[in-house]
Structure 1
Amino acid sequence: MEVKGHLPQAELKRLERVEKDADRAKRLRIVILAQEGWTAPAVAMAVGLSRRICQRWVRRYNEQGLAGLNDRRGREERLPLTPQQQDEVRQRLDAGPTAEDDVCSLRGKDVQRILAQEFHLLRSLAGVYHLLHRLGYSYLRPRPRHRKADPEKQTEFLRQWPERVQAIAAAYPTKRLRIYFQDESRFGQQGTTTNVWARTGSRPTAIRQTEYEYLWVLGAVCPETGHAEGLLSPQLNAKIVNEFLAQFARTIPSGEHAVMLWDGAGFHISRQLRVPDNVTVVTLPAYSPELNPIENLWHYLKSHCWRNRAYDNYDALEQAAVDAWTKVALDAELMKTVCAATHLDRATSN
């Protein structure tokens, strides 16, 4: 085998001695032996590889020098679809099932059929899942959306948000604005279950309580600082919201002004509502919980702290709520992540 003189043999042997990667050292040995005049079958026998593989590494060295001996495994494989077809598949999946699909959700088998019928691409079910991951898709549980939600009003709210923040800032020029998101969640004996690790093929069980005691958890979180304030109450009305606002206002430093976003619940727009001077409330569009990231906090508390459990009475519920709030909501760094408001152009005062 002919070897081009990219490097002298002495240098190749030195590199082989210091090379820590066994596979790369073996490739250097192939080049060295070939340079010494060994035939391909002899080199193959000496290093324990096939003749063709030895010839391939010599050819790569001749073409690219030492770079040709790098491991090429792990290169991104090419998709069996053109860029245009990839866009078309994404559009088809994003649009959801059609009337002709006759299903409520596109599963692997449905995507397999769509690829075959509409894109003339035959793939096994495992191949379909692999392709979906390569296209950037995961099988996720959708977040509930109210049928009365108005996407246009939501878009308009987000578009006007920077101007609204600037107007509030102009009204309090000596204050630093902090954006908070507020909401309430009911926690009680109507329990829910969450996933657990269990042996394949088994059907694990978990407690799901169906009694009727409950309490309300009121909370507000600033995604910028991770500051969270909460209040527990056996009932929820404008009077309780006023108590929460008064408690919350006392935690705001003198040099700051809080902008609190919340929904349009009756106790948020009641005539009895008393908003402290260092708080400005902003009402979100109707039926738009996805615009309020504190909803993620309720999901986190329920999935990490409150599911698969039973509570004897109100006192037990209250203690569980306090323990969970202390563990989760008072962790500022965790709150910055759980309640991140990436959908707003300006969710902080920067």
Structure 2
Amino acid sequence: MATPVPLRSDFDTNTHRQAARRSRDASQTRRLLAQATIYEGGTRSDAAKVGDVTRQIVRDWVVRFNAEGLDGLLDRKSPGAPSRLGPDERQALAGKLEAGPIPAVDGVVRWRLVDLAQWVFEEFRIPISVQTLSRELRAMGYRKLSARPRHHAQNEFELDAFKKNFLTALAKIAASEAAGKPVEVWFQDEMRVGQKNPITRRWAKRGTRPSAPRDQRTASAYLFGAICPKRGAGAALVMPRCDTHAMACHLAEISRNVASGAHAVVLLDQAGWHMTPKLPIPHNITLMPLPPKAPELNPVENLWQFIRDNWLSNRIFQSYDDILDHACRAWRNIEAQPWRIMSIEMRQWAHGF
């Protein structure tokens, strides 16, 4: 038989029973009471009866306790089998993911786990299941995410140049048109709200397909919205159509919401009703067009998505007035949450943080 392992001498029965009363881990409590029996002069067999285990397991507890103290009696998560992929294989897999598939060569337009598992086998002769590969990818920080749409004719260099030079352009406006006044950065955009309403994702049991109402009628209105992320402020109008008159009314509304004594630089896309020389521009506003085909530079797009997902989708609008009521209510909801506007809309390239 194995030689008995003595318990460490810096603990005793009292410390063990007090620790057992404080413990919130049932397994640790059982082990503490079993060892308290030994400190009281009981045998290993007595401790095994208290712990409802064999004497060999009591010996294992003692070895862990002597090495680590009370923490050694806590349950531990099994480390599991070692990873099938080493650092070199993970680096190559990450490069394959970042590069994406070549449809003519790989036969797919997006990587599936089964495709990547096949590639790992062909490249390294390592057989790996899709479940194991999924855990490996998650451990590497990858998730299966929805892709952000990008215009096919977008000039990425123009986008980078705009963001890089934005603060310099803002400083020039502050020194000229703003005449030394504080400058606020605003973003402006429009969203159609109508009876042909989108359907959003929703929680449901796996294997089912939840339903949501969908209208085929075409009545609609346009929510003109602008926000100042730094202040968490906004200004909006609901208009029947997008044209120069509607945009003029919206600029007047933004002008009224600019902080007293400040000048607003309003960033907006290059829609015709934004750029027309017929558009009257208030004295405390300067318009700055965003690069063409670059909606991702306008954070109001993210705000529209949040508003649709939470207050406008999955609804049937009975009439045009019903559309107006819901659009106005949705904007009031977001205006009442300035911290959310700041969270969704702040951009490092625009605010210099």
The TM tier, using the shorter chain, reads 0.7 to 0.9
- 1:250 is paired with a residue whose SS is helix
1:145-224 counterparts in 2 under 5 A? Answer: 145-171=150-176, 172=178, 174-224=180-230
2:6: which partner in 1? 3
CA distance in 1, matches of 2:150, 2:93: 25
CA distance in 2, matches of 1:76, 1:280: 61
1:113: which partner in 2? 118
1:20 is aligned, of 19, 23, 27, to 23
- 1:212 is paired with a residue whose SS is coil
What letter matches 1:101 in structure 2? D
CA distance in 2, matches of 1:198, 1:8: 53
- Asked if structure 2 preserves the Cα contact closer than 8 Å seen for 1:30 and 1:58, the reply is no
Deviation string for 1:182-241 (max 9, x for gaps)? 111122222222223344433333222222222111111122222111111112122321
TM-score by length of 1: 0.87
2:138: which partner in 1? 133
- 2:332 is paired with a residue whose SS is helix
Relative to structure 1, the CA distance from residue 52 to residue 335 in structure 2 (aligned partners, 3 Å threshold; closer, same or farther) is farther
2:250: which partner in 1? 244
- Asked if structure 1 preserves the Cα contact closer than 8 Å seen for 2:65 and 2:73, the reply is yes
CA distance in 2, matches of 1:57, 1:18: 19
CA distance in 2, matches of 1:106, 1:234: 44
What letter matches 2:101 in structure 1? P
Matched, 1:96 2:104: no
CA distance in 2, matches of 1:76, 1:24: 22
Please identify, of 251-260 and 9-18, the stretch whose mean Cα deviation from structure 2 is larger: 9-18
2:58: which partner in 1? 54
- 1:216 is paired with a residue whose SS is strand
Deviation string for 1:256-309 (max 9, x for gaps)? 222211112222221112222222222211111111111011112222222222
Aligned Cα root-mean-square deviation (Å)? 2.8
Matched, 1:260 2:299: no
Deviation string for 1:300-344 (max 9, x for gaps)? 222222222222332222222112222234421222223232xx3
- 1:143 is paired with a residue whose SS is coil
2:305 is aligned, of 296, 299, 324, to 299
State the identity %.
Answer: 30
> Number of residues paired by the alignment?
347
- 1:136 is paired with a residue whose SS is coil
- Asked if structure 2 preserves the Cα contact closer than 8 Å seen for 1:177 and 1:258, the reply is yes
- Asked if structure 2 preserves the Cα contact closer than 8 Å seen for 1:226 and 1:335, the reply is yes
What letter matches 1:196 in structure 2? R
Structure 1, unmatched stretches of 5+, are none
Relative to structure 1, the CA distance from residue 74 to residue 19 in structure 2 (aligned partners, 3 Å threshold; closer, same or farther) is farther
- Asked if structure 2 preserves the Cα contact closer than 8 Å seen for 1:192 and 1:308, the reply is yes
1:31-46 counterparts in 2 under 5 A? Answer: 31-33=35-37, 43-46=47-50
- Asked if structure 2 preserves the Cα contact closer than 8 Å seen for 1:97 and 1:106, the reply is yes
Please identify, of 27-36 and 141-150, the stretch whose mean Cα deviation from structure 2 is larger: 27-36
What letter matches 1:9 in structure 2? D
Structure 2, unmatched stretches of 5+, are none
